[in-house]
Amino acid sequence: MYKIEFSLSMPGVGAWNGRWSGERQRYLIYKNLTDKIAKISGLDRESKKSWSYRWDDGWCACVSARVMSKGERKQKSDGFCGYDWMVDSIIWNNEIKPTR
């Protein structure tokens, strides 16, 4: 069993002021993955990995994942801004695919 911490950031910002209103927040999701599922997502081979997704309007999201150490505690999270679907896509497809 793997305990994975996923974090969200927005390195590409298409806002009028070049800033993301949530940039100072901590967006984290924690998942417990079986060995089989960790293998599908490629997290069984690497302790840290990241994926990005770009929209046509200039925004870009980055989801990073890391395998947590045994006994490591979860950090406080401010949610995931409704981008939980990205984590699900990473787990099942090893990439971020938009849901349609």
Q: Over the stretch 48-63, which tens digit does the pLDDT of each residue have?
A: 889 999 988 888 999 9
6 pLDDT exceeds 90? yes
pLDDT given at position 53: 93
pLDDT given at position 99: 72
10-51 confidence digits (pLDDT tens): 888 877 787 787 788 999 999 999 988 888 777 877 778 899
Name the burial class of residue 90, with classes exposed (0-12), middle (13-18) and buried (19+) by CB atoms within 10 angstroms of its CB. buried
Region class of 28: left (phi > 0), else alpha (psi between -120 and 50), else beta? beta
Q: What type of residue sits at position 6?
A: F
pLDDT given at position 9: 92
Name the burial class of residue 49, with classes exposed (0-12), middle (13-18) and buried (19+) by CB atoms within 10 angstroms of its CB. middle
Q: CA-to-CA distance for 30 and 77, rounded, in angstroms?
A: 10
60-85 confidence digits (pLDDT tens): 999 999 999 889 999 999 999 999 99
pLDDT given at position 48: 81
Evaluate the CA torsion angle 69, 45, 82, 11 in order and state its sign: positive
100 pLDDT exceeds 70? no
Name the burial class of residue 52, with classes exposed (0-12), middle (13-18) and buried (19+) by CB atoms within 10 angstroms of its CB. middle
